[in-house]
Amino acid sequence: MYVCGVTVYDYCHIGHARAGIVFDVIYRYLQYAGYEVTFVRNYTDIDDKIINRANQEGTDYRTIADRYIAAFDEDMDRLGLKKPTLEPKATDHIDDIIAIIKQLIANGHAYEAAGDVYFAVETFDDYLKLSKRNLEDMQAGARVEVDERKRNPMDFALWKGSKPGEPWWQSPWGQGRPGWHIECSAMSMRFLGPSFDIHGGGKDLVFPHHENEIAQSECANGCQFVKYWLHNGFVNINSEKMSKSLGNFFTIREVLELFDPEVLRFFILQAHYRSPLDYSDQNLREAQAGLTRIYEALAALDEALAGPAGNGTATPTLAELQDKAQQLLPRFKEAMDDDFNTAQALGVIFDLVRTLNRYLAEAGAPDAAGRQALTAIRDAFAEIGQVLGLFHSTPAHWLAQREADKAAQLTITPAEIEALIAERAQARTDKNFKRSDEIRDQLLASNIQLLDTPQGTSWKVK
RNA sequence: GGCGACGUAGCCAAGUGGUAAGGCAGAGGUCUGCAAAACCUUUAUUCAGCGGUUCAAAUCCGCUCGUCGCCUCCA
């Protein structure tokens, strides 16, 4: 499997996070399903945008590329992505790139023009087969500037002669650097061969990037390039694509200031990978609430298992729980087998959570049969969590963490809270409810939510 | 202008021919001195609109409206 990584010239935004997480889950699921997966994800570390950035900062392209490679690695690591099998860099494969270009020139699919080399799109009958367009229509509406050196305006650069001051490599066509697209053909071919199973990337790469990869690779090798193309949908802001040019993007770093990485992952997996996904604070908060609901159920499950076994009183929900426990993994697999439908898979989990909560409320201390079902559920969750990259925290820790997040914004000290709680407890004993309610309201104004239980009063930040 | 995708409850979102998953919010209940929290239950005779095919349509076909994307760098 080959997935287009990033061109390293800036920090990654949520769109990159989505692509990363989507293909991370696909990678994990394929392995879970028993496939041996070689996963290649590249860094494109030479490109116009990198050079521009370097010029702006008065440094060289290498400095920029290395900085943002490190930033990418850090971001993806925080998002909990498994490392791909291989993460090659374009600049380590200049020889491979040159070899492919030579081959394309030799068999008539490419031509040299004043130090540049272009791919001749008209020589490839299948051009645009992926995006289902045709050359005539494309040219009719084309915004491409006419370049006299090109035979057809749609021809694209395989090799670009370098201008003074630009980084360059020696080639049969003089000093220059690879065009965008060719590096992915070179690296996928190097590590996966001329033909491989899955190629992924964002929807915006369908044209021109992947279309051009197909043209280069199939013309060079004379065989089918890729069996299955997978493209993730965009992350939108107010129904509009998040993009650099619109300036409406959030970096991964910014979002992780506000939300746990697992919340972001959960949010992304709540939609099918091909659908558009609307990013907003509100939607992230809802995702956090949903994920916390699952953790709360797991915490209750852990607590029930930690306690003593019950006396075997039958509860009406036990049979349903046993059934759902047994069906959990098969239903999860069914959802994932259907084009990696993570939204459906999460629905299966919530469905189980509902039954689980009901059972725990009814059973109190579960009997042997109940404990067996609960243990099976916990094991299944561990398995599912492994595939989705979720549920890594212990439930108690997750819930404590959410409390800690909120406590960080507190304007009142725990000691003060405890003192007021003690005063309120006395007032309640004295049946002075006016005063006790006053204290409750006062604390609520400071964002403190009191939790009255038979065992006494505790509190949490609202 | 060309090509393509999408339109499911207040919001988010599964569902590609067999009679609408799930989440958030809302409502009711349990609990409570009253509340809150928590938990439980519940919430779309209906899937943008109009026609058609079919025993059967959110799912297939046609048209209309709306939103978005690609055609230029983009995950």
Single pTM value for the model: 0.92
Q: Evaluate whether A235 touches A15 at the Cβ level (below 8 Å).
A: yes
Average pLDDT over residues A64-75: 97
Q: What is the pLDDT of residues A259-269, one digit of tens each?
A: 999 999 999 99
**CATH 1.20.120.640, chain A: domain bounds:** 280-400
Task: Pick out residues 134-193 of chain A having their CB under 7 A from any atom of nucleic acid strand B.
Answer: 137-138, 140-144, 180
Distance CA A125, CA A83 (A): 37
Q: Which structure tokens are listed for A357?
A: 């909560």
| Residue-level pLDDT at A413 | 87
Residues 16-45 of A with CB under 7 A from strand B: 16, 18-19
Complete DSSP assignment for A325-375: HHHHHHHHHHHHHTT--HHHHHHHHHHHHHHHHHHHHHHSS--HHHHHHHH
In angstroms, the CA A275 to CA A278 distance is 10
> What kind of architecture, by CATH, is found in domain A1-82+233-279?
3-Layer(aba) Sandwich (3.40)
Of A residues 391-430, those with CB within 7 angstroms of nucleic strand B are 428
Do A267 and A278 touch, CB atoms closer than 8 A? no
Residue A132's pLDDT is 80
pLDDT attached to residue A456: 84
- Per-residue pLDDT at A143 exceeds 60: no
Contact A213, A225 (CB under 8 A): yes
**Which segments of chain A belong to CATH 3.40.50.620?**
1-82+233-279
Closest C-alpha among A165, A167, A31, A152 to residue A91:
A167
Q: Which nucleotide minimizes the distance between its C1' and the CA of A47?
A: B73
Identify the band that residue A455 occupies on the pLDDT scale cut at 50, 70 and 90.
Answer: confident
* Separation between Cα atoms, residue A231 and residue A229, nearest integer Å: 7
pLDDT of residue A5: 93
Strands, E assignment, A162-313: 176-178, 196-202, 226-232, 235-237, 240-241, 277-278
pLDDT tens-digit readout, A279-321: 988 899 999 999 999 999 999 899 888 888 877 666 777 888 8
Tell me which of A93-97, A189-193, A319-323 is least confident. A319-323
Most confidently modeled of A59-73, A236-250, A271-285?
A59-73
Distance B74 C1' – A275 CA (angstroms): 18
Q: Which nucleotide has the least CA–C1' distance to A355?
A: B40
> What is the ipTM metric for this complex?
0.90
Tell the residue number behind the tokens 């650097």, with chain if given.
A177
Q: Per-residue confidence at A144, pLDDT binned at 50, 70, 90?
A: low
Task: Determine the topology of domain A280-400 in CATH.
Answer: Four Helix Bundle (Hemerythrin (Met), subunit A) (1.20.120)
Distance CA A79, CA A184 (A): 24
Highest averaged pLDDT of the listed ranges A12-26, A231-245, A274-288: A12-26
Rounded to 10 degrees, what is the CA torsion of A132, A135, A138, A144?
A: 130
The end-to-end CA distance of chain A, in Å, is 45
Mean of pLDDT values over A241-264:
89
Q: What percent of chain A has pLDDT over 90?
A: 68
User: Can you give the pLDDT at residue A314?
Assistant: 62
Tell me what pLDDT residue A146 has.
63
Q: What is the pLDDT of residue A449?
A: 86
The identity of residue A322, as a single letter, is Q
Mean pLDDT of the region A100-123: 94
- Identify the residue with better confidence: A459 or A246: A459
Structure confidence by residue, pLDDT tens digits, A349-396: 999 998 998 888 877 788 888 899 999 999 999 999 999 999 988 998
Instruction: Give me the CA A363–C1' B30 separation in Å, rounded.
Output: 15
Protein residue closest to B23, using CA and C1': A290
Reported as a pLDDT band with limits 50, 70 and 90, residue A134 is: confident
Whole-number mean pLDDT of chain A? 91
Q: Does residue A147 or residue A304 have the better pLDDT?
A: A304
Q: What is the pLDDT of residue A137?
A: 74
Nearest-angstrom CA–CA distance, A53 and A10: 9
